[in-house]
Amino acid sequence: MHNYEQKEAVRIGFYICHCGHNIASIVDVKAVAEYVKSLPGVVVSCEYKYMCSDPGQELIQKDIHEHSLNRIIVASCSPLLHEHTFRTAVEKGGLNPYYFQMVNIREDVSWVHTDAKAATEKSKDLARAAVQRVFHHKALETKHVKIHPDVLIVGGGIAGIHAALTLANSGKKVFLVERQPTIGGHMAMFDKTFPTLDCAACILTPKMSQVKNHPNITLWTYSEVTKVDGYVGNYKITIKRKPRYINEELCVGCMDCIEKCVYKEGKTPDEFNVGLSKRKPVYIPFPQATPQIVLIDPEACIEFKSGRCKKTCVEACDRKAIDFNQKEEMKEIEVGTIILATGYHTFDAKRVPFYGYGKYPNVYTSLEVERLVNASGPTGGELILRDGRHPKTVGIIHCVGSRDKNTNRWCSRTCCMYSLKLAHLLKEHTEAEVYNFYIDIRAAGKSYEEFYDKLLDENVHFIRGRVAEVSDWAVRSSEEGKLIIRAEDTMIGIVRRIPVDMVVLAVGMEPQSDSQDVRRLFNISCSTEGFFLERHPKLAPVDTFTDGIFIAGACQGPKDIPDSVAQAGAAAAQALTLIDTGEIELEPNTAFVVQDDCSGCRTCLTICPYNAISRDEAKQKAFINEALCKGCGTCVAACPSGAIKQNLFEDEMIFSEINGLLENTPVVCC
């Protein structure tokens, strides 16, 4: 199977790409092509404007036939971008695709260097390394693995819901896992949505119940993924189902138990109302919660704390659904693809102490105001401040925890629009004077700018300038009891003091606090700020670097509802593509043991993280199970007798690359 003897003479075709001006403006591509022509084994060496274009690929195929080429090198962009393209082209030209080697002279050379001479020399070195490397290339067989048709979706916000329904409607089986007791995510907490002012619940709750009732969707709320094993097409997932202390099969969501709880009033801050109201130990997050099943909070319940409760809830339940002895349950499932839609977390306004959140009662976050203006919110939609007053003036401060080097540098993309929406709603509810303090109004979406115009017509005030502080520093008697917003009005070039009754902080979007743990669990990457990293910012926005795992919604970066839904659809489509193809090609970069060279020392056995290496006790040799090997090559580096080799990364290939890189090192003379 592995042919070490190279019988046939090596005939190399080398192609250097201009990539328009991207490469050619820095690297002297002609000089490189000319130079490579002089290297041993090279039969064809030429430059071309766009190697990845059809004519570029056809050029390779034509040369393979005309010049009987048996090795192809393309010097262009990163192999992570176009290696697959060229391998396919080479294969179409009748050559085994693994006779191909790529040289990165764009990302690693022309885009990062300014000195044309040095860049050209570096390109020559890299090209020479590839020329020497391909002498050792071998024909390999592409491996294929089957894709399990079931999909795991993590996160039941609007993105997860939309992806789940898309897949389920196309007949795929979906497991939707949500950490909270209900699906709906942040969207369920919003009052209206911009710019249409649709009621968020009215458009979301039908989708939530579709999820609950869909025959293809298994919905597990109050559950978390704890373990992920396997690889694309064949993931084994362990899910922890936290105890609700309610038998889900029996509970019908009548809520009699809540009413009969020994607590007449709630004492625990209500998560759904962001702490603006109190809930009982036995509760349902909100009236349309899905599933419609209550749960008991053991931190608050007297029975859990003292064991001496009258348990009036148990008496109240006809269906005997309450079970104080319920234990957490572990579920194991197999899926082929995974969509992560784990959402975001709002910026903690206390991190900007000079805006007074947590210090002055009438300073609110935007999420709190969503609940405050909502008809099913803590005040039934009446805008009553924490000190019992109705606001006559409101200041909305944009970019709190966004576009700020001291907190988060990114724009959270949604705050401008939701601030406009809240300004509209606050005016509608209270007829108050509303001031928006903004840096720029970013209304870049369909009908967004028009919505901004509408707000201007509604006589909402806009002050362009960053707010310095919110304080209770009254200079005049008319300011007593008010919150004073100090900000520079950059339009007129003065510092203004605006006394208001209520301050709304438009808090930005951040990665979930445990996004790093989740990233490790699923073996994907995060960008610097902690959002999940897409495979390519433009061309693979929902893929990750791990095959079979896709991302959707705000876990990838701040985005609004339309964008989250669009991305969820895209992620579902990517998963469907894999499922319907039925199998996926794998890099044949697995390791193998050259039996004759193996001394049976066992060094490699413990080093493999996938337990792919076993020892044949009769033969006293190590053996690698190709199906389990992921191709890291750690065992290759560890083998003391050099008996393990890794396809595509054999020692000879790397040594020849090193040699090629350094071969014309100028001799230093004194």
Partner 1 sequence: MKYLSYPGCSLRSTGRAYEESIVAVFKALEIEYEELKDWNCCGATSYVSIDETDAFALAARNLALAELQVAEGTINLIAPCSACYLVLSKTERYLEDYPDVRTNVNAKLDKAGLHYNGRVEVRHPLDVLVNDYGLEKISKRVKYPLKGLKVASYYGCQVVRPFAKFDHSHYPVTMDKLVQALGAEPVDWPLKTRCCGGSLTGTTQEAGLRLNRLLLKEAQKRGADIMLTCCPLCQHNLECYQERINRIYQEEIDIPVAYFTQLIGVALGLSEKELGMQRLFKKPSLEKFMHPKGEMAHA
Partner 2 sequence: MLTAGEQSKTNTWEPRIVAFFCNWCTYTAADLAGVSRLRHAPNARIIRVMCSGRVDPQFILDAFSKGADGVLLGGCHPGDCHYMEGNYKALRRMRLLKRMLKDMGIEEHRFRLEWISASEGERIKTVINEMTEQVRTLGPLGLPKKFEEWDTEMEVLERTVNGKEEAVHA
Residues of this chain that bind partner 1 (CB under 8 A): 353-354, 359, 468-469, 471-473, 475
Question: How remote is the C-alpha of 168 from its chain's centroid?
Answer: 22
Nearest residue (CB) to partner 1, 170 versus 471:
471
Site for partner 2 contains 126 (CB under 8 A): yes
With CB under 5 to 8 Å by kind, the binding choice for 353 among partner 1, partner 2, none is partner 1
With CB under 5 to 8 Å by kind, the binding choice for 297 among partner 2, partner 1, none is none
Strand residue runs (E) in 178-304: 192-193, 198-199, 217-220, 223-231, 234-241, 268-269, 278-279, 282-283, 295-296
**Single-letter code of the amino acid located at 528:** T
Nearest residue (CB) to partner 2, 21 versus 67:
21
Burial of 355 from C-beta contacts in 10 A (0-12 / 13-18 / 19+) = buried
CA geometry: angle 295, 297, 301, nearest 5 deg:
115
- Among positive and negative, which fits the CA dihedral 274, 280, 281, 287? negative
With CB under 5 to 8 Å by kind, the binding choice for 472 among partner 1, partner 2, none is partner 1
Interface residue with partner 2, options 125, 248, 323, 652 (CB under 8 A): 125
Site for partner 2 contains 139 (CB under 8 A): no
258 contacts 286 by C-beta, under 8 angstroms? no
Site for partner 2 contains 633 (CB under 8 A): yes
Structure-token pair, residue 336 = 């082929």
Rounded CA gap, 559 and 172, in Å? 27
Interface residue with partner 2, options 528, 539, 617, 618 (CB under 8 A): 528
- Applying CB under 8 A, the span of 45-53, 64-72, 73-81, 284-292 interacting with partner 2 comes to 73-81
> Beta-carbon neighbour count of residue 234 at 10 Å?
16
Nearest residue (CB) to partner 2, 510 versus 657:
657
Residue 392 DSSP class:
S
Site for partner 2 contains 545 (CB under 8 A): yes
Bond before 609 cis per omega within 30 degrees: no
Rounded CA gap, 464 and 100, in Å? 57
Alpha-helix residue ranges (DSSP H) falling in 458-533: 515-522
DSSP β-ladder status, 12-17 and 71-76: parallel
Site for partner 2 contains 492 (CB under 8 A): no
Site for partner 2 contains 640 (CB under 8 A): no
Site for partner 2 contains 520 (CB under 8 A): yes
Q: Which of 565, 569, 568, 500 is nearest to 193 (CA)?
A: 565
With CB under 5 to 8 Å by kind, the binding choice for 572 among partner 2, partner 1, none is none
Site for partner 2 contains 118 (CB under 8 A): yes
Q: Which of 192, 239, 188, 623 is nearest to 424 (CA)?
A: 192
Site for partner 2 contains 444 (CB under 8 A): no
Question: Going by C-beta distance under 8 Å and a sequence separation of 6 or more, which residues neighbour residue 368?
Answer: 274, 275, 276
Closest contact distance (angstroms) between CB of 77 and partner 2 is 9
Burial of 381 from C-beta contacts in 10 A (0-12 / 13-18 / 19+) = middle
For the chain, report the end-to-end CA distance as a whole number of angstroms: 52
* DSSP H or E stretch at residue 645: strand 644-646
With CB under 5 to 8 Å by kind, the binding choice for 468 among partner 2, partner 1, none is partner 1
Nearest residue (CB) to partner 1, 4 versus 354:
354
243 contacts 297 by C-beta, under 8 angstroms? no
Nearest residue (CB) to partner 2, 129 versus 276:
129
Nearest residue (CB) to partner 2, 428 versus 651:
651
266 contacts 278 by C-beta, under 8 angstroms? yes
Structure-token pair, residue 590 = 């697995």
With CB under 5 to 8 Å by kind, the binding choice for 22 among partner 2, partner 1, none is none
With CB under 5 to 8 Å by kind, the binding choice for 52 among partner 2, partner 1, none is none
For residues 588, 592, 594, 599, the Cα torsion angle rounded to the nearest 10 degrees is: 160
Nearest residue (CB) to partner 1, 480 versus 583:
480
Nearest residue (CB) to partner 2, 107 versus 489:
107
Site for partner 2 contains 631 (CB under 8 A): yes
**DSSP readout, 248-261?**
TTT-----HHHHHS
Interface residue with partner 2, options 108, 323, 449, 472 (CB under 8 A): 108
With CB under 5 to 8 Å by kind, the binding choice for 354 among partner 2, partner 1, none is partner 1
With CB under 5 to 8 Å by kind, the binding choice for 3 among partner 2, partner 1, none is none
Rounded CA gap, 164 and 339, in Å? 9
Interface residue with partner 2, options 82, 87, 106, 398 (CB under 8 A): 106
Distances, alpha carbon 345 to alpha carbons 353, 366, 549, 555, 565, in Å: 19, 13, 22, 9, 18
Closest contact distance (angstroms) between CB of 439 and partner 2 is 24
507 contacts 401 by C-beta, under 8 angstroms? yes
Site for partner 2 contains 50 (CB under 8 A): no
With CB under 5 to 8 Å by kind, the binding choice for 605 among partner 2, partner 1, none is none
Site for partner 2 contains 401 (CB under 8 A): no
Site for partner 2 contains 654 (CB under 8 A): yes
Site for partner 2 contains 480 (CB under 8 A): no
* DSSP H or E stretch at residue 217: strand 217-220
- Applying CB under 8 A, the span of 46-54, 107-115, 162-170, 431-439 interacting with partner 2 comes to 107-115
With CB under 5 to 8 Å by kind, the binding choice for 325 among partner 2, partner 1, none is none
With CB under 5 to 8 Å by kind, the binding choice for 507 among partner 1, partner 2, none is none
Closest contact distance (angstroms) between CB of 364 and partner 1 is 19
Query: In DSSP terms, which residues pair with 269 in a beta bridge?
Result: 278
Site for partner 2 contains 129 (CB under 8 A): yes
* DSSP H or E stretch at residue 368: helix 366-372
DSSP β-ladder status, 509-511 and 549-551: unpaired
With CB under 5 to 8 Å by kind, the binding choice for 618 among partner 2, partner 1, none is none
Nearest residue (CB) to partner 2, 135 versus 649:
649
With CB under 5 to 8 Å by kind, the binding choice for 473 among partner 1, partner 2, none is partner 1
Interface residue with partner 2, options 11, 41, 49, 78 (CB under 8 A): 78
Bond before 195 cis per omega within 30 degrees: yes
Q: Which residues bind partner 2 (CB under 8 A)?
A: 78-81, 104, 106-109, 111-115, 118-119, 121-122, 125-126, 129, 520, 523, 525-528, 533, 537, 545-546, 589, 607, 609, 630-634, 636-638, 646, 649, 651, 654-655, 657-659, 661-663, 665-670
